[in-house]
A and B are shown apart, each in its own frame.
Chain A
């Protein structure tokens, strides 16, 4: 009550002295310290990142003494990282810096994040309804392979997309039957799905294409062209893939469905307390089946991007996903089982992959360790160092009807 009264008396200065404000300002300044040294600002004197970083750390220390310890230490770390990265950037060549940080970095981030966004949203649906989906990796792999087959035989990527979603949904249906009706352990079932997908895609890749010979000119996912010629934005978002735009739409739709509609309330009820949901007349099995199948279809569509997107360019490789399904799982956990959080985490992981690819201008190996970053961050997140992630209460627990 008293704090509100104080704010009413002197709103602006009270806000500025609020530890939450100073803490977030410190974190932001820490990031800004590193940002100063890279294009487009590109300060070449290393004193600038140091000054801004010290201000950030000072704000952090102020915040810790005002009670928000965790936030404060976050700001201190952010400031120190900003100083370190900023100095590193001023020491490196201008040409290299330009090739790492340009407008296409944004486009590449969105591109690399696309399968992760689909996978993370798919996982969110499944786990919000109470079914853990470790099999995302396998379902994504199925999508990557069968869309090529569909596009090759059907003549257009639309057929490929439909076939991929169908096969992904079918595999998810098999998994759902074991996880829901037979109440088998969901981690074991998901592991089985990953093995099965690896075997099935590998088998048919040999059987249908002799391990390599996918014909050239398979219909690919088109890019959406606009803003051509506009500085920065043209390169950043003017040439994104149609699936990337679809992933943005998916995040918004998923948020509204899960949190603003009756069906979303039912899904979440099944994930938190299936017995209560059953008592008020919700068909827990039907909701869970629906969510798992939807999850399989979505993650398979995400897999399409790997083979039919701009990077895949109509090729398939054995075990093409190479852990991206698990990164999507990590993004879902890191995003705390929420569509917006999952989207943010997927973008962060996509950004780290893009940086990893671009750091090769410094040395071929510099980027490799960067690939582990999503997993390290998720490990830190589940350890609860920076705010604990909380899974749905009934996540992974089979439900027996009465």
Chain B
């Protein structure tokens, strides 16, 4: 990471309170050690829950690992009928979505904003991709796919852009407005896909599910079978998005301005950067990633969506954990998405024996681990404490200088 501007001492940065400054601190304090320590701690504490309820946590984690298909690396094969290869392809499908929803959260973070509305923007992407995919049948495949993806991406950007505009013009806090936009999108989708809704399927009037997207809009599958949740080229779109994210932030004027606003809006304004424009722009780009996630899921393997899928989906919220664990960098997001993708699939589908721990039990374990990761990752004073004690080789209190305290007030 190449961060512009002065780098304050860790103690100072923690006290100044702006989100970006605190994140910049975490960037420096501990490299990749702290995220790993966070994950280990989360797994340990979740293991205690498993142990307390009379199951063997080690065996449970072994089953989750097997269920995620990550054991494929021990005996790699391209044969999709192999159980570990199949599980891996499913884990990668989950990872694809989480990379994109993670980037959605990360991009806004780099501009000093918390986009908690990834779930709503994802749903908007799902809705628009389904609409274009179903209603624009008869197009040639390539233009159809491109049209569906760009429409969904744009819709996600516009949806998040509402929060950006509200923040830039009237100062409405983006957390509140994105939460509200989430639920508006969710209920809107419930209506669209529900009985008699505009996107409900044409053949079964009492099934609140949409039509399948046309064959011409489905992304090609390269591992597994088309129509049977084979691994589609969406994962390459997600990997490309990672590169775009990195290049946009670190190699363009836009990215420089966005990061400058994230570090210190006042200083950025003093330096001639239009803060309001950048807030709107960053929020819209952030939403574009989430909308793209919806499009890739819809065109890649879901093909249709129903009323019952809406409240179950948590990928937008999982994106928060991915981005925080990945420290809002492209590489970090990739590994964060892989971790949570493996957990999400490994716990719910992989434990087919049920001998160690029931799959439903393990599925809920994902949420516990996820919650603990987010909880620990957000505690930068804890990280600071670890960092300081590592540096000075003796435990000490958090610094309490008069200057830093004044800055916090």
Interface residues of A (CB under 8 A from B): 134, 174, 178, 181-185, 187-189, 191-200, 202-207, 211, 274-275, 319, 322-323, 326-327, 329-330, 333, 363-365, 368-369, 371-372, 375-376, 378-379, 382-384, 388, 391, 397-402
Contacts and interface: CB of A to CB of B under 8 A. Distances in A.
Given A192-B375, A401-B400, A382 B176 contact: yes
Given A182-B381, A192-B375, A397 B17 contact: yes
A368 B195 CA distance: 10
A191 B317 contact: yes
Given A368-B191, A375-B180, A383-B172, A196 B367 contact: yes
B100 interface: no
A207 B404 contact: no
A184 B361 contact: no
Contact of A178 (B19, B375, B408): B375
Nearest to B320: A191
Contacts of B381: 181-184
B173 A382 contact: yes
17 contacts: A134-B175, A178-B375, A188-B374, A194-B371, A195-B317, A196-B371, A199-B369, A202-B367, A203-B365, A206-B361, A365-B194, A369-B188, A371-B187, A376-B180, A383-B166, A400-B405, A400-B408
A2 B269 CA distance: 46
Given A134-B175, A196-B375, A274-B409, A206 B360 contact: yes
B49 interface: yes
Nearest to B54: A207
Interface in B379-409: 379-382, 400, 402, 404-405, 408-409
A187 B116 contact: yes
Contacts of B191: 365, 368-369
A345 to B, nearest CB: 13
Interface in B350-372: 358, 360-361, 363-372
B360 A371 contact: no
B220 interface: no
Contacts of B364: 198-200, 202-203, 205-206
B194 A372 contact: no
B311 A319 contact: yes
A275 B407 CA distance: 11
Contact of A384 (B170, B175, B370, B402): B170
B106 interface: no
B96 to A, nearest CB: 21
B285 interface: no
A193 B187 contact: no
A273 to B, nearest CB: 8
B196 A196 contact: no
A366 B231 CA distance: 38
B367 to A, nearest CB: 3
Contacts of B180: 330, 375-376, 378-379, 382
A206 B195 CA distance: 31
Contact of A368 (B187, B368, B408): B187
B371 A195 contact: yes
Given A187-B114, A200-B368, A402 B402 contact: yes
A363 B205 CA distance: 13
A181 B114 CA distance: 22
Contact of A185 (B22, B321, B366, B370): B22
B378 interface: yes
B53 interface: yes
Most chain A Cβ neighbours within 10 Å, of B177, B181, B371:
B371
Interface in B293-317: 311, 317
A397 B361 CA distance: 37
A199 B371 contact: yes
B184 interface: yes
Contacts, number: 179
Contacts of B114: 185, 187-188
Nearest to A189: B378
Contacts of B187: 368-369, 371-372, 375
Given A188-B378, A203-B49, A376 B172 contact: no
Contacts of A319: 311
B358 A206 contact: yes
A337 B82 CA distance: 57
B24 interface: no
Contacts of B405: 400-402
Contacts of A365: 191, 194-197
Contacts of A397: 17, 408
B377 interface: yes
B15 interface: yes
B63 interface: no
B374 A363 contact: no
A368 B190 contact: yes
Nearest to A188: B378
B184 A196 contact: no
A182 B386 CA distance: 12
Contact of B183 (A205, A375, A398, A401): A375
A253 to B, nearest CB: 27
Given A199-B371, A202-B367, A365-B197, A323 B183 contact: yes
A199 B194 contact: no
A195 B379 contact: no
A198 B196 CA distance: 32
A388 B380 CA distance: 33
Contact of B321 (A195, A206, A376): A195
Interface string B15-43: 10101001000000000000000000000
B221 to A, nearest CB: 31
Contact of A203 (B22, B116, B368, B379): B368
A372 B184 contact: yes
B184 A195 contact: no
Contacts of A181: 381
Nearest to B165: A383
A183 B405 CA distance: 13
A358 B197 CA distance: 18
A178 B402 contact: no
Nearest to B361: A206
Contacts of A382: 166, 172-173, 176-177, 180
Given A188-B324, A402-B400, 13 more contacts: A183-B14, A184-B375, A185-B19, A185-B22, A188-B377, A192-B373, A195-B367, A198-B364, A199-B371, A202-B360, A363-B196, A379-B166, A391-B173
Given A192-B372, A203-B365, A184 B194 contact: no
B179 interface: yes
A183 B26 CA distance: 14
B374 to A, nearest CB: 4
A327 B182 CA distance: 12
A371 B404 contact: no
Contacts of B195: 364-365
A173 to B, nearest CB: 13
Interface in B316-368: 317, 320-321, 324, 358, 360-361, 363-368
B176 A195 contact: no
A333 B180 CA distance: 11
A190 to B, nearest CB: 9
Contact of B184 (A178, A185, A375): A375
Most B C-beta atoms less than 10 A away, residue of A185, A194, A330, A364: A185
A69 to B, nearest CB: 17
